[in-house]
Amino acid sequence: MTKEQIFEYFATNSANLGVKTILYTMLSGLLVGLIIYITYLLTSRTSVYNSRFNASLIIILLIAVVIMLMISSNIVISLGMVGALSIVRFRTAVKDSGDTVFIFWAIAEGLCVGSGNNTLAFSTTLAIAIVVLLFSLFSRSSGGCLIVVRGGSTETMDIYMVEHAVKRIGRRVRICSSNIAPDHQELILEASIRPSAVKRIQEEVMKLTGVDSVNWVSKSGDSLG
């Protein structure tokens, strides 16, 4: 096969995308992106909801759609895109590992929509959204938290009495840290507690002799908030 034949093959095997096709594909990508947007909104476990990151998921998906449209429209452009994208490096750190999942999810669905597999894109998006929602509900029901108890000296506040008071209401209670000074001490306990029982535990611990304060911090995986 000569060079002219190779060039003619690339030219004749390129697809001409019309305005209607492009708009239909972008609209499909937007609908898929909205499903991902709503899923992130419902499952966000950070103390401060990041609306800018959530909106960027839709943009990432649409960018992936554009890339796939460019690749599918012209074989020559697709070869150039491989080289162009191979030199791109992103240095932005993602604080939550769950956010990385949503980024890859948006990219994968964008490639799926851009390649014309709308049925596959919508079905997989709904399936993954259901899985993410179920895992989110399961993890939230565990109610992991940290209880920080501060009080007087070892003679006035008994840490074992504090642990026993928490165990009466919570589950899987264990002492994570115990700091003792001559005039005060601090106790940190990890427990699985329902949100409705948090106030009850605080009231029970505050009744103990020598306890000055009780702080509760929710624990979501590796983050606190």
- Identify the weakest region by mean pLDDT among 50-54, 102-106, 136-140, 211-215: 136-140
Q: What does the alpha-carbon distance between residue 121 and residue 116 come to, in Å, rounded to a whole number?
A: 9
| Burial environment of residue 110 by CB neighbours within 10 A (0 to 12, 13 to 18, 19 or more) | buried
Give backbone dihedrals phi and psi of 137, rounded to 5 degrees, phi first.
Answer: -65, -40
39, pLDDT greater than 90: yes
Q: Give residue limits of the domains in the chain.
A: 3-141, 143-224
Amino acid at position 214, single letter: V
pTM of the full structure: 0.63
- Beta-carbon neighbour count of residue 214 at 10 Å? 21
Helix (H) or strand (E) holding 175: strand 171-180
Q: Which residue would you say has higher pLDDT here, 148 or 137?
A: 148
- CA-based radius of gyration for the chain: 27
Q: Which residue would you say has higher pLDDT here, 113 or 46?
A: 113
Q: How confident is the model at residue 45 (pLDDT cuts 50, 70, 90)?
A: low
**In Å, how far from its chain's centre is CA 61?**
16
Q: What does the alpha-carbon distance between residue 136 and residue 145 come to, in Å, rounded to a whole number?
A: 16
Q: Which residue would you say has higher pLDDT here, 69 or 220?
A: 69
Tokens (6 digits) for 53: 């990151």
CATH top-level class of 143-224: alpha beta
59, pLDDT greater than 90: yes
pLDDT of residue 224: 42
CB distance 30 to 118 below 8 Å? no
- Beta-carbon neighbour count of residue 37 at 10 Å? 19
Per the listing, tokens 């000074």 go with 181
